Amino acid sequence: MIVEPKVRGFICTTAHPTGCRENVKQQIEYVKSRPKTDGPKRVLVIGSSTGYGLSSRIDLAFSSGAATIGVMFERPSNGKRTASAGWYNTAAFEEFAQADGLYAKTINGDAFSREVKEEAAGLIAGDLGQVDMVVYSLASPRRTLADGTTVSSVLKTTDKDYTNKTIDLASRRITEVTVTPATEAEIADTVKVMGGEDWKDWISLLSEKGLLAPDAVTLAYSYLGPELTHPMYMDGSIGRAKEHLFQTSREISQEFPGVTAYISVNKALVTQSSAAIPIVPLYISILYKVMKEQGTHEGCIEQMYRLYAEKLPARAVDGRGMLRLDDWEMEPDVQAAVLRAWDEITDENLDRLADIDGYWEDFYQMFGFHMDGVDYAADVEVEVAVPSL
């Protein structure tokens, strides 16, 4: 079929197989253009099919030659509709990995479930023996618990209403949004979904089965953000989950001998998660403008290469022990420029002060659209197999 983007709110309901393959290919080419790294050789990536998880898997495989097992929760095509972008990304990753002689297998299922954890453990035991690294990059809005209950996360404040600017990306108009307080139950559910409990469950199971190599490292990804988003982010329900994730990193390092856990605080980028957050898309659009003008803008793959080539080997942590890949974003001159633009921005000067086109490019490219060199008028086969599934 001829595949076109169908955008509904902050999600695209279609994905382009050739475009997704090209996106993965370009990330691999970037990694191959950089110096090789002496990183881990056996890696489990939980949440491996899009965003930072996908870029982590690409970097660790093609920079340090790691054998990787990925865990994803993606939808294949049924012939009438496209597969999800993560499905096509994973098919392309495995194709390129195998062409380079790299081990790559993927599990498709709910990473929160005991069944998927056991399946991953069996694959590690049978194929790799142990893993040197576990990357936890799960980004899900809901979680089904062991008793069958499903809980959902919310993005709300924890004390009072917070009103600020945001943007309607479709109409390119500045509007106002008010974020309301969460209930205690909503906060607890958000921590259940986005905190560190499941990360620790993974490490506990792998440790019990003897599948973690001596001196194994595990990382989870987080975001802190600027002060203008703190009332509804770091000081809000999501912030409670992020703090729980951080505390979990300390618990893992203390409770599992030989295992070191880190939080990597990454830069604000266009992702399926960030696109759904009020206020943040406008902030990202302004940030893109500022950092591109300064020559410091990075996408997922540049961030992950810098993490595994520079930050992690040097154990370059902040005062709380976190790896800070948002360091360039949080430079005082960058934040000052963003705040000046934030105060001045209107519908009339939007294109001068914010990179809305760059935001949309990143959004479409998440789903395989707007990639250079892809003929979007051509018929494509939407049923694509992931080799290991």
- Please give the domain boundaries of the chain with CATH numbers for all domains: 7-366 (3.40.50.720)
Predicted pLDDT of residue 273: 73
SS3 222: strand
Predicted pLDDT of residue 259: 98
CA distance 175 to 353: 16
Residue 8 confidence (pLDDT) above 90:
no
**Which positions are annotated as active-site residues?**
233
For range 153-163, the mean pLDDT: 94
Q: Which helix (H) or strand (E) holds 67?
A: strand 67-72
Residues 353/289, Cβ–Cβ less than 8 Å: yes
Q: 241 - beta bridge partners? A: none
Q: What share of the chain is helix, strand, coil (3-state, %, to 5)?
A: 40, 15, 40
- What digits encode the pLDDT tens for the residues 345-367? 999 999 999 999 999 999 999 99
268 backbone dihedrals φ, ψ, rounded to 5°: -70, 125
CB atoms within 10 A of CB 49: 26
- What digits encode the pLDDT tens for the residues 283-337? 999 999 999 999 999 999 999 999 999 999 999 999 999 999 999 999 999 999 9
- What digits encode the pLDDT tens for the residues 214-243? 999 999 999 999 998 999 889 999 999 999
User: Structure tokens of 59?
Assistant: 């970097």
Residues 285/355, Cβ–Cβ less than 8 Å: yes
- What digits encode the pLDDT tens for the residues 325-340? 999 999 999 999 999 9
